[in-house]
Amino acid sequence: MSRAPEPLAGRADEADTPCALCGRRGVSLTRHHLIPRSRHRHRATRRQFSYAQCVTAILMICKPCHKQIHALFSEKELARYYHTRERLAAHADMQRFITWIARKPPGFIPLTRRRA
């Protein structure tokens, strides 16, 4: 028996809600767990964050921003350092990407390359 996806609590209309990183409107938004779910059970993560922080630290971001985050950072890096919107946005490569993608129309889908 398959479960229906859980509705997002307090979710506004996607067309009116901007991406939390680039600010574009009218784009499909995805949930980005600031502390990756795969890291929740690791001892270091449990020492650094409470369970409530792990499950509630979520950003609603557009797919291009989400793909760029995972192309630039490992899940370990995300859990240890890049676990806030401010820290993600402060990274030089993310700043360049955010500035670039913010000027693109809502239907634009960029190619994302993983770091070497």
pLDDT tens digits, one per residue of 30-40: 999 888 887 77
Q: pTM for this structure?
A: 0.78
Distances (CA, A) of 46 to 33, 65, 77, 79, 80: 15, 27, 15, 10, 11
Angle at 13 between CA 9 and CA 19, to 5 degrees: 90
Domain regions of the chain by residue span: 29-101
For the stretch 2-43, pLDDT in tens is 444 444 444 545 568 999 999 999 999 999 988 888 777 778
Token pair of 8, please?
């997002």
Picking from 76, 67, 60, the residue whose alpha carbon sits closest to that of residue 108 is: 67
